[in-house]
Structures are given as structure tokens and as C-alpha cells.
Amino acid sequence: MRRIFSVLAASLFFVSVLSAPTPAVSATTVSFSADIWADNWFAMYVNGVKVAVDPVPITTTRSFNKVSVTFKAKYPLTVAIIAKDYVENKSGLEYIGTPQQQIGDAGIVAQIHELSTGKLVGGTSKSWKSLIIFKAPLNQDCVKSSNPLADCHSKTINTPSNWYSPSFNDKSWTSAKEYTQAQVGVKDGYNEVNWDENAKLIWSSSLTTDNTVLFRSVFKAPVSATKSMTLSAPKLIDSKTLALDNSCDGVGIAPTLSWSNIPTGTKSLALTFDTLPGPVRPGEAVTQDFNHLVIYDLSPTSIGLDDKLTGGILGKNFKGTLGYTPPCSQGPGLKEYTFNLFALTSEITQTGLTGPELLSQIKGKVLDVAKLNVYYTRKS
């Protein structure tokens, strides 16, 4: 066990497809994040494009690290990973010539989320297909040899051309095998990632002698059997234009909201109200938090939110205060703001979360998201 990789990142649950003709490609490009922990080295491709690679050479011993990446792609996602366990040469052994001379072990786990919603796309499991490229030692009794390169036997097959392409046929590959944390011997960084229960540690048939393995899986957007969650603001002008009193030009109260079609299995709801930032004005600090409202732990049986903001836990808005801070965009003209309603698989009970902190907390816990764009025009 040598190296840990975490490729971080943001979640509807998507279906893993083993092998099939290339599915129709979505016209919409989506941003994703991925978490990967590997022993020892990996490179990952999505739809034939390399999106992540271990920057530390496979020849490096005792290297443990964590890396974060994001990427953009279109559904369905063909995810292909080449994973290698550290060995010194074709003997398949490590620490050759030392008292620690041994056969190493391996393992990998990965999960992918949508960056904007935190929804889980999918994770590694026994549904993935695998192909062993290099296997050694075939005769494990050579582990004590003083000349393992001569005494240990190995088997290598040529890496198939375009094995990472969406059009590649992996029908002849075998299913990956799931392993426990104890079997893999996870360490150094594995526990820094909040792994979804659907992301399993996998490898091929042997953690010790299968040194280089290819993995593939396809993830596509599901066809929902139920109506999508809806979010509306019935008291707004035309149901989409903020009233004067919802802005800093008026008394600054929150709009009344209504929602419906909460998905089965929802344990709580969370709501944010944000906008895209304008130019930084004199005296303002640059921030990544533009939430005018953050509220969570709302009951899944609730049907809306009144201007008193009762029924949930108030988080911090971009000014650092709890509750609603009204839009006060600089300059005249039409401004756009967005309400985001999240249906979650668990309750979020920590108090005083900011918008970014809430999104981090709900990663991998989102069943559905409803959005409502609203507008306001300032006269000056």
C-alpha cells in the first residue's frame, strides 16, 4: 500500500452500465468532480479524454498524497481507469534485497459527483469491468529468492488499443471484485474523503499478484419514474419578479416560497438564494459566497417557506449574518437571482453554515434539486 489519491470535487444517483453499444450523447456539458483513492498509481479517462493522472511516478516508493480535479463532460460518462500497484521490476516484488522483500498489495476506490449540485453520479463497484494487463509473481514461493528477477515468473498482455474509448467493446472483460478496507489496508488519506456507500474498494481477482489492471464503467442520467420536485414563488409579480420589499430598496423581507413533489426517501430539505457576483466595489472583499439566504433541516413534509423563515436552521448569508439579506445589486438594470431547493437523504443539524459549507455537507446526499430564477430591476 503506497499512494493515496483523492480527486475531489460535487449528485442524482446514476445507473452503472457494464458494456453496451455507445449510448446517445447528451447535448449538455456538465461539470463534475471526482474522488479517487488508489494503491499505488492511476490515470483516469472520461469519454476518451484523460482527466486525471498521478503526478508522482509509479517508481516512487512510500509516496502518499491527495490530488483534487474537476472536469467537464457530456452524459453518458464512459469512465476508464488504469491502476498500477508498485513493483520494482517484472518479478512483482517490492523492497528487493531488504528484509522487507515482499509481494505488494493494491486497491482503488472512486466516486464522481456533479459539481453544481453535489449529486452522486456513481462509484466503483463489482459492476465495473476489469482486465489484468500484468500479473506477477505467478510462483509466489519466489518471494524469498535472492534473485527474484530470474526466479519469479510473470504474465503480460498487450494493452488493447483505445481501451478507454466509449466505443470500445469490453464484453469479454471480467467483473471487478469488491474488497473491504481491512483487506486493502487503507491508510494515509482514505479517511479524508466522505465516501458514498455506493463507492466500493475494488480490484481484480488478486490484490497481490495482479499488478496492472484496466477498469471501465458507464454512467448515464436516469429516467425518473416520478415527477420532478418543483419550486415557485406565487406572491411575486408574474411569479418571477421580486417585489420592492424583497430588495434593499424596500423593507428587505424574504419572498414566500412553495414547493411540491418532494421525492420519496427525503429526510430533510435545504434552500439557498444566491446570485452571480458583480464587480468588487471599494471596501468590499473578494468572496466565493454570494448567498442572500441559507436555510436547512426543513421538514420533508413542509410545502413552503414564509417570510418569517420558520421551520429550519438558518445559515449565514454572504454578510456573515443569519437569515435573509436582501438583494442590493449595484447599478441599474435587470438582475437575476436563483433559489435552489435540495431534497436530502439525511438531516443537516450543524448550526451557522455558510452556503459553501452547506454544499460541502450535502455532497453525495442530494436526491433532487429544484431551481427558481427570479429577477429585480433597480432604478438607480
User: 279-324: per-residue pLDDT in tens?
Assistant: 555 555 545 568 999 999 999 999 999 999 999 999 999 999 999 9
Task: Identify the band that residue 5 occupies on the pLDDT scale cut at 50, 70 and 90.
Answer: very low
Residues 6+ apart with CB under 8 A from 132: 157, 204, 205, 210, 212, 213
Question: What are the extents of the domains in the chain?
Answer: 15-220, 230-378
Phi-psi region of 59 (alpha: psi -120 to 50; beta: other; left: phi over 0): alpha
The tens digit of pLDDT for each residue in 246-262 reads 888 889 999 999 999 99
Examine the pLDDT at 92 and tell me if it is beyond 50.
yes
Instruction: Label residue 51 left, alpha or beta by phi (over 0 means left) and psi (-120 to 50 means alpha).
Output: alpha
Predicted confidence (pLDDT) at residue 205 exceeds the cutoff of 90: yes
Q: What is the pLDDT of residues 76-86, one digit of tens each?
A: 999 999 999 98
Of residues 248, 31, 240, the one with CA closest to residue 121: 31
Please report which confidence band the pLDDT of residue 230 belongs to, taking 50, 70 and 90 as the band edges.
very high
Q: What is the DSSP string of 88-126?
A: SSTT-EESTTSTT-EE---EEEEEEEETTT--EEEE--T
**pLDDT, greater one: 324 or 65:** 324
Which CATH class for the 230-378 domain?
A: alpha beta
Q: Tell me which DSSP letter residue 241 carries.
A: B
Q: Which class is 15-220 in CATH?
A: mainly beta
C-alpha torsion sign, points 313, 318, 320, 326:
negative
pLDDT at 365 > cutoff 60: yes
Burial class (CB in 10 A: 0-12, 13-18, 19+), 277: middle
- Identity at 249, one-letter amino acid code: D
| pTM score of the predicted model | 0.61
Question: Which pLDDT score is estimated for 287?
Answer: 52
pLDDT at 15: 29
Q: What is the mean pLDDT of the chain?
A: 85
Provide the pairing of β-strand 29-39 with 69-74. Answer: antiparallel
Average pLDDT on 360-372 reads: 90
